[in-house]
Amino acid sequence: MQHAEPNRLSPGTGRWLTPPKALVLGFTAIIATATLLLSLPVAAADGERLSMVDALFTATSALCVTGLTVVETGTRFSIFGQVVILLLLQVGGVGFITMAVVISVLIGRRVGLRERLLLQESLGYIKVQGMVRLALYILGVAVAAELVGFVLLWLRWQADLGPGQAAWFATFHSISAFVNAGFDLFGKFDQSSLEAYRADLLVNVVVGGLILLGSLGLPVLDEIVHWKPGRRFSLHTMLVLSVSALLLVSGAVMLLVTELEPHSALAQLPWGERLLVAVFHSVSARTGGFSTITLADLSAASWLAIMPLMFIGAATASMGGGMKTNVLGALLVTLWSVARGREHVVAFERTIPRETINKALAVMMGAVTLVMMMTIFLTLSERQDAIHLMFEVVSAFGTVGYSLGVTPYLSTVGKLLLVITMFIGRLGPLTLIAALARQQSTQLLQYPEEKILIG
């Protein structure tokens, strides 16, 4: 079998740095810098330096907009440390390539093809055209959504916290919610996330709405904003909206069903509050990370109901991680087409290309393999219950931040395993594989097809 010799380019040309490699190296550089900053005494509330492992874990969790923490954000970090975390959340959510492109435009620097390709890779976008406009649009939508969230939360919290502190809390939580990070400052008041506002409709709607907007993805939001009567949504948008609605409803129903026992955590609440908790967590479990009830108090059945939501995550080109809702949509449509005996995969009167289906299958298999391997490794390194460890791993991969209270007590090896999981979960398994793979060579010889037994 012969292969064409690949076009090898010297590193001096810069062409060896493919978009996937640039993303991996960029994320790594930012995490390394943030780790050093968070390990400084000035970043600690009491002046006592954070260990390098805990600083690395926090920096990775913030940049990957995960929300898993090994120390309380509101009590362990000073204002300087919290600002560093907030900047990481914003850069990690919007994307450091997007931020770089926007800065280039603002200072009048020309955005070249390489930057456009990097932006396309980081957003998972299909076209190269319109990348600069999309970057500006992304930042505009993010700022607008976070500003609305800030105003509403500040108005609600100023009576509880005072105008000044309410402004900082509203800023932090509005950004954290929109980028689907789940970092919170309420540990400062011995509270777990938003538990004190479990029955507060305004806080639930604002935070839940920001999470939902951030999880849909900018291409979807762009189509919704510019929709006109008679105009058809793209297949991507239709799949994302359909699957998101399905997961929201089914997740809320499953949480209500799994907490029907008289002594369960939700059963202790009035029905209106119980429904609000179920809907909020159905939204937040898909990469949001905020909670209004202690997750460890839920039943094991509820944990199992939450894990698929965390694993699926948000949409491609969104603020969240996970396997992605559009990937699940493509796989469900494929399953339906195979069951109906159709030759092509069709959804909403559109045919999905075979290449897209193959990529969706690869993403799913990569995600399942990663979660299973990390769970096995954690089970070997930690003296914890396997279901608790799997919950933390799925939360890390989906960049959710939900925890059963296990993460702060993990060993150094366990924390590093979750760091790797968060990193891959944010970038995506295929991006990492593409970054590590050698340059593709053209295959000149095609082997004959042969069927295998399936079923």
C-alpha 406/C-alpha 396 separation (Å) is 12
Residue 347 sits at φ, ψ, to 5 deg, of: -145, 130
The pLDDT, as a whole number, for residue 268 is 85
Q: Where are the alpha helices (DSSP H) in 296-428?
A: 300-312, 325-339, 354-381, 386-397, 412-427
Q: Give the SS3 label for residue 197.
A: helix
Distance of CA 276 to the CA centre of its chain: 23
What does the H/E/C string look like for 35-88? HHHHCCHHHECCCCCCCHHHHHHHHHHHHCCCCCCCCCHHHHECHHHHHHHHHH
For residue 191, name the pLDDT band (cuts at 50, 70, 90): low
Look at residue 29 and give its three-state secondary structure. helix
Of the CA atoms within 13 Å of residue 393, those in its CB half-sphere come to 23
Task: Kindly report, residue by residue over 2-60, the tens digit of the pLDDT.
Answer: 334 343 333 443 455 666 677 778 889 999 999 999 999 999 999 899 999 999 999 99
pLDDT tens digits, one per residue of 275-287: 999 999 999 998 8
- Alpha-carbon gap, residue 216 to 214, rounded angstroms: 6
The answer to whether 45 and 76 have CB atoms below 8 angstroms apart is yes
On whether residue 109 sits in a domain, the answer given is yes
pLDDT (0 to 100) of residue 34: 95
- Identify whether the C-beta of residue 214 lies closer than 8 Å to the C-beta of residue 101: no
The Cα 431–Cα 410 span in angstroms is: 28
Cα separation of 255 and 266, whole Å?
Answer: 9
Phi, then psi, of 265 in degrees rounded to 5 = -65, -45
Domain of residue 171, residue span:
18-433
Helix (H) or strand (E) holding 346: strand 346-347
Which tens digit of pLDDT belongs to each residue from 325-368? 999 999 999 999 988 888 889 999 899 999 889 989 989 999 99
Angstrom distance (rounded) from CA 42 to CA 246: 46
Judged against a pLDDT cut of 60, whether residue 196 lies above it is answered with yes
Residue 62 lies in a domain: yes
- Note the pTM of the prediction, 2 decimals: 0.87
Residue 23 in domain: yes
Residue 446 domain-assigned?
Answer: no
For residue 258 the two structure tokens come to 């799994």
424 part of a folded domain: yes
Residue 1 within a domain? no
For residue 176, the model assigns a pLDDT of 95
Tokens of 45: 């509330």
Residue 12 domain flag = no
- Per-residue pLDDT at 3: 39
pLDDT of residue 170: 96
SS3 for 350? strand
If one counts the domains in the chain, the total is 1
Q: Closest by alpha carbon to 174, among 191, 194, 159, 188?
A: 194
Nearest CA among 67, 314, 94, 292 for reference residue 211: 314
In this predicted structure, the answer to whether residue 202 has a pLDDT above a threshold of 90 is yes
Category of 439 on φ-ψ map: left (φ > 0), alpha (ψ -120 to 50) or beta: beta
Question: Is 439 domain-assigned?
Answer: no
Residue 454 carries which DSSP code?
Answer: -
How do residues 382-434 score in pLDDT, each as one tens digit? 989 999 999 999 999 999 999 998 999 999 999 999 999 999 988 876 666 65
The pLDDT tens digits of the residues spanning 67-79 come to 999 999 988 999 9
